[in-house]
Amino acid sequence: MEMTSVSLKRGCLVVEDNDSVTPQEETKKQKVSEGCLTSSQDGIENDGLHHSESEPGAPEAESAVKDGKNSSTRVQEEEVEEEEEDGLSEAGEEEEPESFADMMKHGLTELDVGITKFVSSHQGFSGILKERYSDFVVHEIGKDGRISHLDDLSVPVDEEDPPEDALTVLTAENKQQLEELQLFKNKETSVAIEVIEDTKEKRTIIHQAIKSLFPGLETKTEDREGRKYIVAYHAAGKKALANPRKHSWPKSRGSYCHFVLYKENKDTMDAINVLSKYLRVKPNIFSYMGTKDKRAITVQEIAVLKISAQRLAHLNKCLMNFKLGNFSYQKNPLKLGELQGNHFTVVLRNITGTDEQVQQAMLSLKETGFVNYYGMQRFGTTAVPTYQVGRAILQNSWTEVMDLILKPRSGAEKGYLVKCREEWAKNKDPASALKKLPVKRCVEGQLLRGLSQYGMKNIVSAFGIIPRNNRLMYIHSYQSYVWNNMVSRRIEEYGLRPVPGDLVLKGATATYIEDEDVNNYSIHDVVMPLPGFDVIYPKHKIREAYREMLAADNLDIDNMRHTIRDYSLSGAYRKIVIRPQSVSWEVVAYDDPKIPLFNTDVDNLEGKPPPVFASEGKYRALKMDFSLPPSTYATMAIREVLKMDTSIKNQTQLNTSWLR
């Protein structure tokens, strides 16, 4: 039984959104990001919580049900989703595990992270979010305002490209030997490949294949005892390897191949790691504007340095759940945060609302919007929320940081992590706890490795082994926790109208609303600060509420600089209410919970007819389309429609009872 409704990744940290998050936009420099105006990343919402186990800073996309943060720029300061490992729990576990629903009883609810207010007065209804990952589709909106679609698989005609046969003529063993030669990984100075079924054409194709797939190698034909061999060798010693692709790239062609990536059930960094593996290149030659959620179908633009469209298109023959197309050659890579946002197509299944209730809810979303809270995935899925770790970092309580990350906890986790935590609690020996982890790239594994290296008395250095974005994720989670709570207090105190002392942005600068200016603004103009040393606070009761909340956590709002520069918070501004664009919806009836309720780009490419719905069915679903700016959570938009807790804890209970 697939418990999905929320995408749950059971690994170390859980932070996922399906909004469109753009990994980080440099914390300070970009304090304003359309929706969020926060300062470092926007997110792409992933609806359920996506746990990242070790990905270096994947941006969050918050426009989805983030849940969905539409992130394109990391507005908030850099949030990370660690990369999720495909690890399964270790074989041979004897104890009967708790059901997923039981484990999630320990998870967070919206109330726990300050999400309490709605902007509309319509009556809510229930529905299941992300019951299938194909119910959540994210299309990136580029800097030119165009929505990315995969609708062309053709390869640009280029006389410089080798024939198609060149991509298949070499065996896996040939490729491994040639790669080792290219990278100087063995003592051999050349690799000889025998030409079977010798013809001049066959030899030519092998020559072309080696030169195109392994830049920096030269080839020659040799006769050995009556047999023909193609011999590959280095053109100019190790210097030739400094930038191997430059040896074979046509000067008339743009250095970057841009393409549209369609992916299913993979987050962006995982997808790039897969592409890198098949192309035998480093992941850092890829660039993108924002990372997209795992538990979704997503469509986004990617750029790669000096890899031909022909080679990329060939991957369509060997990769599952990916499609690459819409190829073009450009002079420049893509930059994080350049997107305008994300367009979401979301299906909420098994809804209980009447047609009139749905109409009221969707009109309110279209005309008024939703409270721009940080979605649940920003805070983790286990009994130790990420904001608690962030608070301990800001307090300089490093023993607590270590304990919070490593101690046993209730909630959904992989079996090997549970065993690792038990070992840690028992012996406090990082080396023995590390041995329990088959996957060492998760945050827990990295911290244990740091403690083994630096010792238990130097936790700061040990923690520093964790990639920077992953470390900053914790303190950004704390900022988000404060922001959510303060916005709820602001709405409780003053309602959904601007009041004197509120903040609005003029350009990137925050200014106060004065008495005489109140009528010039709406609630959609009002911003609230994420706490930091470079922001101002409202001039009304909420200023003191910020001070009190931080003081209760032993933090000084007037001194947000940390002794360790990385953990100094400059702060940022974020709009408190967001109004989605391009909102449309329909209610459809269906009988089979497993059938798709709309066509994807790949369905359309394959000529699949769109689904036909009966006038009546066993179930009803709400299909909704809307666009969000970077750094807003789609799940928070859906929450406003349903008037329902979007936490993985609540959605799991709902989904479980329905499936029964």
pLDDT tens track for 409-444: 876 677 888 899 999 999 899 999 999 888 777 889
pLDDT of 551 reads 96
CA 211 – CA 404 distance, rounded (Å):
52
pLDDT of 78 reads 31
User: Does the pLDDT value for residue 477 go beyond 90?
Assistant: yes
Helix ranges, 506-633 (H): 541-552, 601-605
User: Does the pLDDT value for residue 601 go beyond 90?
Assistant: yes
Model confidence band, residue 214 (pLDDT cutoffs 50, 70, 90): confident
CA 483 – CA 254 distance, rounded (Å):
44
Calculate what percentage of the chain has a pLDDT beyond 70.
77
Angle between the N-to-C axes of helices 443-454 and 415-427, in degrees from 0 to 180, rounded to the nearest 10: 30
HSE-up of residue 482 (Cα within 13 Å, Cβ side):
33
User: Does the pLDDT value for residue 493 go beyond 90?
Assistant: yes
List all residues 6 or more positions away from 341 whose beta carbon is below 8 Å from its beta carbon.
20, 34, 35, 63, 70, 72, 141, 627, 628, 629, 630, 632
User: Does the pLDDT value for residue 143 go beyond 60?
Assistant: yes
Q: What is the three-class DSSP state of 631?
A: coil
CA 446 – CA 465 distance, rounded (Å):
6
Our answer to whether residue 625 is catalytic in this structure is no
Structure tokens at 175: 């490729």
pLDDT of 412 reads 63
Model confidence band, residue 159 (pLDDT cutoffs 50, 70, 90): low
**Phi, psi of 313, deg, nearest 5:** -65, -30
List, in sequence order, every beta strand (DSSP E) within 30-186: 42-45, 51-52, 128-129, 136-141
List all residues 6 or more positions away from 392 whose beta carbon is below 8 Å from its beta carbon.
398, 400, 401, 404
User: Does the pLDDT value for residue 5 go beyond 70?
Assistant: no
Lowest mean pLDDT among 90-94, 101-105, 136-140, 214-218: 90-94
Most confident of 311-325, 466-480, 528-542, 607-621: 528-542
Segment (H or E) for 205: helix 200-213
Structure tokens at 185: 């990984």
User: Does the pLDDT value for residue 395 go beyond 80?
Assistant: yes
- What is the residue-averaged pLDDT of the chain? 79
pLDDT of 303 reads 97
**Rounded average pLDDT over 209-215:** 75
Catalytic residue among 293, 592, 603, 625: 293
Burial environment of residue 351 by CB neighbours within 10 A (0 to 12, 13 to 18, 19 or more): buried
**Rounded average pLDDT over 455-470:** 91
pLDDT tens digits for range 67-126? 334 433 333 333 333 333 322 222 223 333 444 345 445 578 899 999 999 999 888 999
Model confidence band, residue 37 (pLDDT cutoffs 50, 70, 90): very low
Q: Check residue 114 and give left, alpha or beta (phi > 0: left; psi -120 to 50: alpha).
A: left
User: What DSSP character marks residue 425?
Assistant: H
pLDDT tens digits for range 301-310? 999 999 989 8
pLDDT of 45 reads 40
Lowest mean pLDDT among 212-226, 320-334, 512-526, 575-589: 212-226
Percent of the chain as helix, strand, coil, to the nearest 5: 35, 20, 45
pLDDT tens digits for range 604-622? 999 999 888 878 888 999 9
**Nearest in space to 374 (alpha carbons), one of 21, 13, 6:** 21
Model confidence band, residue 537 (pLDDT cutoffs 50, 70, 90): very high
Burial environment of residue 140 by CB neighbours within 10 A (0 to 12, 13 to 18, 19 or more): buried
pLDDT of 258 reads 96
pLDDT of 504 reads 97
CA distances from 42 to 39, 45, 68, 137, 630 (A): 9, 9, 10, 18, 5
CA 405 – CA 254 distance, rounded (Å):
46
Model confidence band, residue 236 (pLDDT cutoffs 50, 70, 90): low
**Rounded average pLDDT over 372-391:** 88
Lowest mean pLDDT among 121-125, 137-141, 546-550: 121-125
Model confidence band, residue 182 (pLDDT cutoffs 50, 70, 90): confident
How many CB atoms sit inside 10 A of residue 388's CB?
19
User: Does the pLDDT value for residue 514 go beyond 90?
Assistant: yes
Bridge partners, residue 345, by sequence: 137, 625
Bridge partners, residue 528, by sequence: 574
pLDDT of 38 reads 31
User: Does the pLDDT value for residue 452 go beyond 90?
Assistant: yes
Greater pLDDT, 276 or 614: 276
pLDDT of 235 reads 65
Name residue, tokens 């916005």. Answer: 487
pTM, two decimals, is 0.73
Greater pLDDT, 649 or 197: 197
Lowest mean pLDDT among 143-152, 153-162, 543-552, 616-625: 153-162
User: Does the pLDDT value for residue 332 go beyond 90?
Assistant: yes
Find the largest Cα–Cα distance for the chain: 96
Structure tokens at 536: 């101002």
Model confidence band, residue 210 (pLDDT cutoffs 50, 70, 90): confident
**Cα pseudo-dihedral 169, 171, 177, 179, rounded to 10:** 60
- Residue positions counted in the chain: 660
CA 539 – CA 544 distance, rounded (Å):
9
**Nearest in space to 140 (alpha carbons), one of 217, 213, 59, 201:** 59
**Rounded average pLDDT over 315-323:** 90
CA 475 – CA 496 distance, rounded (Å):
29
pLDDT of 267 reads 84
CA 116 – CA 492 distance, rounded (Å):
10
User: Does the pLDDT value for residue 557 go beyond 80?
Assistant: yes
pLDDT of 57 reads 31
User: Does the pLDDT value for residue 192 go beyond 50?
Assistant: yes
Q: Check residue 92 and give left, alpha or beta (phi > 0: left; psi -120 to 50: alpha).
A: left
pLDDT of 163 reads 63
CA 344 – CA 369 distance, rounded (Å):
15
Are the CB atoms for 124 and 451 separated by under 8 Å? no
CA distances from 77 to 249, 341, 480, 639 (A): 37, 17, 10, 25
